[in-house]
Amino acid sequence: MKRTSQRLSAIQPSATLAVDAKAKAMKAAGENVIGFGAGEPDFPTPQHIVDAAIAACADPKNHKYTPAGGLPELKQAIAAKTLRDSGFDCDASNVLVTCGGKHAVYTAFAVLCDPGDEVICPAPYWTTYPEAITLAGGVPVVIDTDAESGFQVTIEQLDAAKTDRTKVLLFVSPDNPSGAVYPPKAVKAIGEWAVANGVWVITDEIYEHLTYGSHEFSSMPVLVPDLAEQCLIVNGVAKTYAMTGWRVGWMIGPVDVIKAATNFQSHATSNVTNVAQRAAIAALEGSLDDVVMMREAFARRAGIMHEMLNAIDGVTCPEPQGAFYCYPDMQGLLGRDINGKVATTTVELADIVLEEAKVAFVPGEAFGLPGYGRFSFALGDDDLIEGIRRLADLFA
């Protein structure tokens, strides 16, 4: 008999974390490594949110179990914030508070998928999606996109991927890792396709506030109201409020689905940490001023990184439209002599770049689309410029 279950043994180690682990080990050994791997804002959490958490720590009512589905005040705040920010009208009974957006993603697949149910998952995809789908018993059906198509799936591709077993379409815009933002027309067309085909949509809105230039976030069930009964929205405070470590996210959906997911959570985790939930209330009820400040910094860095990457011979970088990632095509660097080493894949390229230039990026293999690399611009301007300059020098 195997020591670990087949289900868990099948999980792939995260390639994102592998690069990160090597970069951290080199840093610990005293090397001056610049990391473009992390998908988290470099800013501290805004002070008024931290203050709310400090006050919450001192209040004994937060020392006890609270409802598994989330504090009623937080669910209310999430419903109000959703109406304010995306225009989607829901109430507290449509909300489940989870341990971060990642937990909401897993819960969403777990509550919808029976064994063998297919989930359409456009690539490049965030590393967690296929693993979460498989763990939940679903089968990921990957659709490839590329820079030419703006990393956006078409209705024709969806038609071709659909089978009798298709249960869910996974949709995320702004996207990790490509930085793509679907225009409202495309969001609407995809939502209408889902309604017409009886397919659920899990829409990940975690980067809703991080869009640049003329690109704007739009919420699928707002543009296609008929979708609401077959749609789960995933979101959280991590990216918008620089709160990755606080672990508060949520899922919004029809009441019957939220009830089933809440039952699941009541056995798996009980309530999310009350102190973090109180901090999330302060975040959601507060102003968006800090968010605007952070978005401006990200927009500036996006511009710098985009331009510097494109200036490297062999690299083609589409304009990042949202989130905080550039996702350049790096195939032009494969097969080249790099200080006596040659990379034939972007995994090998990432390794050589880390060793030779002390720069960490995540190879496209981690996101189901080899030949590309993900560079986060959620780090300070000086490091960002120095890191891409090192890359440019290596390939000069």
Q: Is 106 in contact with 135 (CB distance < 8 Å)?
A: yes
Q: For the chain, what is the radius of gyration of the CA atoms?
A: 21
- Determine which residue in the list 35, 37, 41, 101 makes contact with ligand PMP, applying CB under 6 A: 101
Does 238 interact with ligand PMP (rule: CB under 6 A)? yes
What's the closest the beta carbon of residue 176 comes to ligand PMP, in angstroms?
4
Gap between the Cα atoms of 315 and 136, Å rounded: 37
Q: Is 188 in contact with 171 (CB distance < 8 Å)?
A: no
Which of positions 257-296 make contact with ligand PMP (CB under 6 A)?
none
Given the DSSP bridges, would you call strands 359-360 and 34-35 parallel, antiparallel or unpaired? Answer: parallel
Does 124 interact with ligand PMP (rule: CB under 6 A)? no
Cβ closest to ligand PMP, residue 305 vs residue 323: 323
Which of positions 148-207 make contact with ligand PMP (CB under 6 A)?
172, 176, 204, 206
Which of positions 317-376 make contact with ligand PMP (CB under 6 A)?
none
Gap between the Cα atoms of 308 and 315, Å rounded: 10
Distance of CA 221 to the CA centre of its chain: 19
- Determine which residue in the list 236, 328, 373, 387 makes contact with ligand PMP, applying CB under 6 A: 236
Among residues 280, 369, 361, 321, which one has the least CA distance to residue 100? 280
Cβ closest to ligand PMP, residue 118 vs residue 204: 204
- Residue owning tokens 């000086």: 382
Does 209 interact with ligand PMP (rule: CB under 6 A)? no
Which of positions 38-67 make contact with ligand PMP (CB under 6 A)?
39
Does 123 interact with ligand PMP (rule: CB under 6 A)? no
How many C-beta atoms surround the C-beta of residue 43 within 10 A? 15
Stretch in the footprint of ligand PMP (CB under 6 A) among 64-72, 77-85, 99-107, 388-396? 99-107
Count of positions (residues) in the chain: 396
**Residue count, binding to ligand PMP (CB under 6 A):** 14
Does 100 interact with ligand PMP (rule: CB under 6 A)? yes
Does 122 interact with ligand PMP (rule: CB under 6 A)? no
Stretch in the footprint of ligand PMP (CB under 6 A) among 100-108, 210-218, 285-293, 340-348? 100-108
Query: What six digits make up the tokens of 75?
Result: 């669910």
Stretch in the footprint of ligand PMP (CB under 6 A) among 57-65, 96-104, 193-201, 333-341? 96-104
Peptide bond into 318 cis (omega under 30): no
Long-range contacts of 146-149, Cβ-Cβ distance < 8 Å, separation of 24 or more: 146/369, 147/316, 147/318, 147/327, 147/329, 147/372
Q: Interface with ligand PMP by CB under 6 A: which residues? A: 39, 100-102, 105, 126, 172, 176, 204, 206, 236, 238, 244, 249
